Structure 1
Amino acid sequence: MRDSITRDTRLALDLALTLRHDGDGSVTDDLADPAGLTDWVRARTSVLPAPERFVADTGRLTAVRDLRAAVRALFAHAVRPAPPSRADASRLLPVPEALRRLNEAAARTPTVPVLDWDEDTGPAVRRRPAPGHADDLTAALARAVIGFLAGPDRDRLRACHAPRCVRYFLKDHPRQEWCKPSCGNRARVARHHGRRRQAG
C-alpha cells in the first residue's frame, strides 16, 4: 500500500479489516471480545489518541462492532458496481441505516463553537471538541471513516475476490486485483482447478 495514505484512510481500512479470513474458509473477528478491541486499539499508537490507556468493555465493543457493520456496508456501496466482500454479501445494512449509524457515532464527541477573527477575511466560526471531554473511540473512528469516504482514496477502494478472502483494499496499480499476493495465488489455483473440472 502507498506510504502516503492519510491517517483517516489507514484507520478506516484497519477497522474494516478486523474481519479477515483464516486461510481455511472461516472468518476471524479481531473484535470478538473486549480484550480483542483493547489489543486492536493499543496497536494503533500512531493513529489514535492515547491508546495505551484504553480498556474496552462490552458497551464500547458493541458500539465499535455496530460502527464496523456500517463501515463495511458503506465500503460495499463504494465499490459498486463490483460485488462487495463475501463476508458482507448476505448481511449488508441498508445504506440509509449505515449512514445513520456512522453519523450518530461521529456525533458522540460534543463540540463547541470557536470564533476566529482574521483581519483579512473577518470573523468565522469553527467547531472543536469540548474542553475536558474524553474523545470517544467510536466517534474518532467514525470521523476517520467519514474523512476516508469523502476523500480521494475512496476511488481506489476494492473488495478482494480471491477465494475465502473478505478484505477490502486500496488499489495501488492498474493491474492489481487482490489485496495481497497470497490471495492472487489462491485465485489462480482456483481458476486452474475450475478449468480442469470443466475439461474433465
Structure 2
Amino acid sequence: MQESLTRDARLTLDLTLTIRHDGHGGVADDLTDPPGLAAWVRAHPDAVPDAAAFLADDATLTAVRDLRAAVRTLFARAVRPAEPSPADATRLLSVSEAVARLNAAAARTPTVPVLHWPEDAEPAVRRKAADDAHELTATLAHAAIAFLAGPDRQRLRACHAPRCVRYFLKEHPRQEWCKPSCGNRARVARHHDRHRKTQQA
C-alpha cells in the first residue's frame, strides 16, 4: 500500500482486508474470534490508545464485524458501476442500513476528560473514551466516514483477479489489480481461456 495514504484510508482499507482469499479458493476472515480482533488491533496502534494492551470480547467483535459489513457494502457502492468484491456479492446490506450502521458506530464516542499531572510537568487534560469497545468502533467508523467522504474514494476499486476478494486504491491509470500477483493470475487465466476457446473452435 502506498505511503501517501492517509491514516483514515489505511485503517479503513485494512479493516476491509480482514476478509481475504485463503490461498485455497475460499475466503478467510481474520476476525472470527476475540483473539483475532485483539491481534488486529495490536497491529494497528492508531486504532485505540494503548492498543498493545487491548482485550477484545464477543460484544466488541460483533460490533467491529457489523461495522466492517457496513464499510464493505459502502465500498461496493463506491466502485459502481463496476462489480463489488466477489466476497460481498451475495451478502451486501442495503445502502441505507450500511449508512445507519456506520453513523451509529461513529456516535459511540462518549469521551471524558482525564487529568494527567506528572511530577515534572504541568497538568494536562486528555480526552479518553469511557469504553474501549466503543472507542474502537467509533475510531474505525470515523476513519471510514472520512475516507468515504474524501477524494481517495474515487480511486477505490475491487480486484477481480481470480480468487481475489480485496478492495484497493488505484495508484496509476492502468492499474487493474490490487497487487502484481493478482495481475499474473488474471493474465494466466485469460491465456488459458483463450487457449481453451481456440481448441474448441
| Smaller-chain TM-score bracket | 0.7 to 0.9
- Aligned residue for 2:37? 37
Give the number of aligned pairs.
Answer: 184
Distance in 1 separating the partners of 2:140 and 2:65: 11
- Aligned residue for 2:119? none
Question: Closer, same or farther in 2 for the Cα pair 1:100/1:46, shift >3 Å?
Answer: closer
Distance in 1 separating the partners of 2:52 and 2:3: 24
What letter corresponds to residue 98 of structure 2 in structure 1? A
2:152 aligned counterpart, secondary structure? helix
The question of whether the paired residues in 2 share the 8 Å contact of 1:79 and 1:159 is answered with: yes
What letter corresponds to residue 160 of structure 1 in structure 2? C
What letter corresponds to residue 183 of structure 2 in structure 1? G
Distance in 2 separating the partners of 1:17 and 1:168: 7
Distance in 1 separating the partners of 2:27 and 2:41: 20
- Offset at residue 47 of structure 1 (A): 4.9
- Aligned residue for 1:175? 174
Q: Deviations over 1:71-94 (max 9, x none)?
A: 000000000111000000111101
- Offset at residue 131 of structure 1 (A): 5.7
The question of whether the paired residues in 2 share the 8 Å contact of 1:7 and 1:47 is answered with: no
What letter corresponds to residue 16 of structure 1 in structure 2? T
- Aligned residue for 2:108? 108
- Offset at residue 13 of structure 1 (A): 0.3
The question of whether the paired residues in 2 share the 8 Å contact of 1:110 and 1:130 is answered with: no
Q: What is the root-mean-square deviation of aligned Cα atoms in Å?
A: 1.6
1:89 aligned counterpart, secondary structure? coil
TM-score, with normalisation over the residues of structure 2? 0.87
- Offset at residue 2 of structure 1 (A): 2.5
- Offset at residue 133 of structure 1 (A): 2.6
The question of whether the paired residues in 1 share the 8 Å contact of 2:47 and 2:136 is answered with: no
- Aligned residue for 2:116? none
- Offset at residue 132 of structure 1 (A): 6.0
Name stretches of at least 5 consecutive residues in structure 2 with no aligned partner. Answer: 113-125
Q: Deviations over 1:125-178 (max 9, x none)?
A: xxxx96663451111100000010011111110000000100000000011100
What letter corresponds to residue 79 of structure 1 in structure 2? V
- Aligned residue for 2:3? 3
- Aligned residue for 2:64? 64
Residues 1:133 and 2:130 aligned together? yes
Question: What does 1:23-34 align with in structure 2 at a 5 Å threshold?
Answer: 23-34=23-34
- Offset at residue 49 of structure 1 (A): 2.4
1:93 aligned counterpart, secondary structure? coil
Identity of aligned residues (%): 70
TM-score, with normalisation over the residues of structure 1? 0.87
- Aligned residue for 1:146? 145
Question: Closer, same or farther in 2 for the Cα pair 1:33/1:100, shift >3 Å?
Answer: same
- Aligned residue for 2:98? 98
Distance in 2 separating the partners of 1:155 and 1:25: 29
Structure 1 segments of 4+ aligned residues over 6 angstroms from their partners: none
Distance in 2 separating the partners of 1:74 and 1:49: 27
Q: Deviations over 1:87-113 (max 9, x none)?
A: 00111101000000000000011269x
